[in-house]
Structure 1
Amino acid sequence: MNRKTIAVAVVAVVAVGGIAYWSLGSPNALLQGTSVAAASDNKAITIWRDPGCGCCDAYADYLEGNGYEVTRVDDPNFDQRSIEAGVPRQGIGCHLAEIDGYVVSGLVPVEIIERLVAERPDITGITLPGMPANAPGMAREKTGTLKTFAFGEDGVTVYSEE
């Protein structure tokens, strides 16, 4: 490489670094690329569901009503897909979803999904097993307490009980 090419490359790297610094607000934000990405407004979610399940449609409508862009995929074998995605067999929910790299199984309330995506814990995903009558999609509004579990390489733990 000649000196002119090297000089242009150095100027380009410095310019990109300066733009990133000013866009993100601080050098710490630049080092926390995962946190910056998580702060984005990614509200695209894909749901694999049993084609005949009305509560899955009601849940998808609930998500859309909360600003999510929902892709619905009919999959009569969503339970097998759930297990393959890492959901514990005893933790399978009403349908399987994917958002921002996480697996979400069941009728999980929006505020819990948003906390998952914002906090970015080192887990595979979360599940609200079964079809609780007080969960979004089963009821007009969430009522009472719902226990959501986290799952991943370290096993299963309670993620939220609210």
Structure 2
Amino acid sequence: MKKTSFAVALIAALTAAPAFAAPSGTMYKDPHCGCCDAWAKHMQDNGFKIDSKIDAQMSQTKDKLGVPGSLRSCHTAKIGNYLFEGHVPADLVIKVLRDKPAIAGLAVPGMPLGSPGMEGPTRQPYQVLTFDRQGRTTVYAQR
């Protein structure tokens, strides 16, 4: 096969690939948290179907799911085979679901201003971290 034929075939295959279909997920949240609902709306605005579960025992739920203590925020979502802790941007959730890295999930520890669901007049830079089942973390993105 000539190089040009291969390139044409590759371009055709890539452009014919189906668009990413964002799956549904479940968000566990404290009954008194409003920013969790704002994050769920951000996800829904980006094509996700998020089922919200009120949970008055969030610490136990996070323990059961395997969210490391140092990464915890106000809500935890399970989407596909991954966990998303806190105000993780939808584009990074999509990237993880597409790329399927060998991680347990992504986390935005705390509640940084300017992250999805925490929008307002000020914005602070924050990191999105990966975590695995052993609790090891790496920086996935800077926002």
Larger relative CO (CA 8 A, sep 6+): 1 or 2? 2
Mapping for residues 13-92 of structure 1, pairs under 5 Å: 40-92=20-72
State the shift of 1:84 in Å: 2.3
Paired residues of 2:112 and 2:124 also in contact (CA < 8 A): no
Deviation digits for residues 48-91 of structure 1 (CA, Å, limit 9, x no counterpart): 00011110111111111111111000001223212322211010
Structure-1 residue corresponding to 2:139: 158
Structure 2 stretches of 5 or more lacking a match?
1-8, 10-16
- Taking the aligned partners of 1:69 and 1:41, their CA distance within structure 2 comes to 11
Q: TM-score, normalised by structure 2?
A: 0.78
Aligned to 2:6: none
TM-score (norm 1): 0.70
- 1:146 alignment partner in structure 2: 126
Indicate how the Cα distance of structure 1 residues 142 and 114 shifts in structure 2: closer, same or farther if over 3 A, else same. Answer: farther
Larger radius of gyration: 1
State whether residues 113 and 123 of structure 2, in contact with CA within 8 Å, keep that contact through their aligned partners in structure 1.
no
Per-residue CA deviation, residues 103-160 of structure 1 (Å, 9 max, x unaligned), is 1100101111111111110011111011111111111599553201111146111121
2-structure distance, mates of 1:61, 1:79 = 23
In 2, distance between residues paired with 1:72 and 1:88? 21
Runs of 5+ in structure 1 lacking a partner? 1-24, 26-35
**Contact 2:22 2:94 (C-alpha < 8 Å) held by counterparts:** no
Corresponding residue number in structure 2 for 1:105: 85
CA distance in structure 2 between the aligned counterparts of 1:151 and 1:93, rounded to whole angstroms: 14
Which of structure 1's runs of 4+ aligned residues deviate more than 4 A? Answer: 140-144
Number of residues of Structure 1 aligned to a counterpart in Structure 2:
128
Distance 2:108 2:121 in 1: 16
Which protein is richer in helix relative to its size? 1
Give identity over the alignment, percent: 32
* Residues 1:68 and 1:141: Cα distance change in structure 2 (over 3 Å): farther
